[in-house]
Amino acid sequence: MIKYHKVSKVYSRQDKAVLKDINLEIQEREFVTLVGYSGAGKSTLLKMIYAEERPTSGDVYFYKTKINKLSRRKLPKHRQQIGTVFQDYKLLPQKNVWQNVAFAMEVAGKSEEEIAEDVPQIIDIVGLKNKSHKYPEELSGGEQQKVALARALVNRPKILVADEPTGNLDPISTWEIMQLLLKINEYGTTVVLATHDKDVVNRIARRVISMDKGKIIKDDAHGRYCI
Ligand SMILES: Nc1ncnc2c1ncn2[C@@H]1O[C@H](COP(=O)(O)OP(=O)(O)O)[C@@H](O)[C@H]1O
Ligand SMILES: [Mg+2]
């Protein structure tokens, strides 16, 4: 469903390529972990999926669509098919849990009926049923990330891109978030997870793509963290 074809990236005002001739395919329903030192190019690679960065050369496909050729007008529709979560949860501080999740549906143009039906469901799935009316500052980091995850999933994206989602979390919350990622993958959503966390990668033992200095140095179907 995602395909990188000869993708290179040089950021403007820099001479060095941060991605070098990347060829990679990710299939529907896969759970892919992307590992590598800081600066390896993981985030740059992921940003191309939701069209926040474009390759300097090469193409990135979402099914048959060249993401890097999408017009500005078509970007919102494309991004609605991609869920994203990050190390910082990016919640709206003045909205409570329910409102944060509902807002993602409002922006996507969903009806009030759909919102009233889907928001409680997804909040229940991430285990925050009794915290719907709490504000972000009243929640732990792990709970805030669960809200971010609910928000990312509420529009039923085809693929979830998770860039270091457990980077700020303690081991217990990390594992709770990982359980949720595995669960949503079982429900059929493709998951692409960039992480530094060796234990997480080795424990889930899914496809591991190892990056170093802008290149894929290993791609292992049931891999271990080996950077
Ligand atoms: N917007 C940007 N402008 C210039 N250089 C950038 C930008 N974003 C990332 N880089 C550089 O690109 C390289 C790869 O970064 P990144 O994709 O964030 O790697 P990772 O996520 O593996 O840490 C790093 O050297 C980083 O400094
Ligand atoms: Mg990164």
Ligand 1 center–CA 109 separation, angstroms:
33
Q: How confident is the model at residue 90, as a pLDDT?
A: 95
pLDDT for 97: 98
Confidence of residue 39 (pLDDT cuts 50, 70, 90): very high
C-beta 44 within 6 A of ligand 1: yes
Q: Is the pLDDT of residue 226 over 80?
A: no
Cβ contact 104:151 at 8 Å: yes
Q: Which atom of ligand 1 is the closest one to the Cα of 13?
A: 4
> Six-digit token pair at 24?
């990679």
pLDDT band, very low/low/confident/very high, at 159 (cuts 50, 70, 90): very high
pLDDT per position as a tens digit, 60-84: 999 999 999 999 999 999 999 999 9
The residues placing their C-beta within 5 Å of ligand 2, an ion, are 42-43
Our mutation pick for probing the ligand 1 site, out of 20, 37, 43, counting the most ligand atoms within 8 A of Cβ, is 43
The position carrying tokens 């990050």 is 86
N-term to C-term CA, the chain: 27
Distance of alpha carbon 126 from alpha carbon 124, whole angstroms: 5
Q: Is the pLDDT of residue 125 over 90?
A: yes
Nearest-atom index, ligand 1, CA of 164 = 21
**pLDDT at residue 198 tops 90:** no
Query: 161-185, pLDDT tens digit by residue?
Result: 999 999 999 999 999 999 999 999 9
Name the pTM for this structure: 0.95
Q: Is the pLDDT confidence value at 106 over 80?
A: yes
Residue 176: what pLDDT? 96
What pLDDT band is residue 222 in, cutting at 50, 70 and 90? confident
User: If pLDDT is split at 50, 70 and 90, which confidence band does 14 have?
Assistant: confident
Q: Which ligand is nearest to the CA of 17?
A: 1
Distance 129 CA to ligand 2 centre (A): 31
38 lines ligand 1 (CB under 6 A): yes
Give dist(CA 179, CA 40) in Å, integer: 26
